[in-house]
Amino acid sequence: MTPAQSFNDEQRARWNGKDGEFWASHHDRLDRILAPINDPLLAFAEPEPESSVLDVGCGCGALTLEIARRVGPLGQVTGIDVSEPMLGRAAERLRGVPNASLQLGDAATLPLGAARAGLIISRFGVMFFGDPIAAFRNLRSALRPGGKVRFACWRPIAENPWMQIPLHAVYEHVRGFPSPVRTSRAPSPLRIRNG
């Protein structure tokens, strides 16, 4: 098993265990926290009416629901996630929304070639790809010619003062607290870098 496969197995276990249950149970509060990201991401992505969209790492479906509104009844949005608990919550929210569907699976391996999406969007999902090259290659197979990929992802910690301030407070009081600076190429929220 490759390190990427091992990581993906760990992610599936994590998001189908306590982390996925937590997000599904607290989706209202977490949606409010992440809501300020939605409008800029959607403005950047510009989902077109009547288009087909893939929402990668859709979680509990808040962004999927908004995309369904924007593409309208002749459009289609498919939310993809590895978490059954979160997709269960998304299914409840999307009940009665005929232009939205959900798929359980890993974006790196899920058969997507027939999707012919005009847009692939992700809010904090792509940063957890164990093998980003394989995942983006697979996603590209789902993109129609001229389609676009748009995502929101954290920058390195040096560019995130809102993370630095509380961490420095923790370092003053907790011995041995691990550094958030990544020395490996392992996936994490702070993985994406220039170059």
144/185 same-domain check = no
146/128 same-domain check = yes
State which residues form the domain around 159: 154-195
83/33 same-domain check = yes
97, 68 contact by CB (below 8 A): yes
Q: What is the pLDDT of residues 37-74, one digit of tens each?
A: 999 999 999 999 999 999 999 999 999 999 999 999 99
**Alpha-carbon distance 130 to 128, whole Å?**
6
92/171 same-domain check = no
Q: What is the pLDDT of residues 1-28, one digit of tens each?
A: 787 778 778 888 999 999 999 999 999 9
111/131 same-domain check = yes
Q: What single-letter DSSP state applies at residue 131?
A: S
pLDDT at position 155, please?
Answer: 75
- Angle (CA) 63 68 74, round 5°: 160
26/50 same-domain check = yes
62/145 same-domain check = yes
Q: What is the pLDDT of residues 77-96, one digit of tens each?
A: 999 999 999 999 999 999 99
Count of the separate structural domains present in the chain = 2
| pTM (predicted TM-score) | 0.84
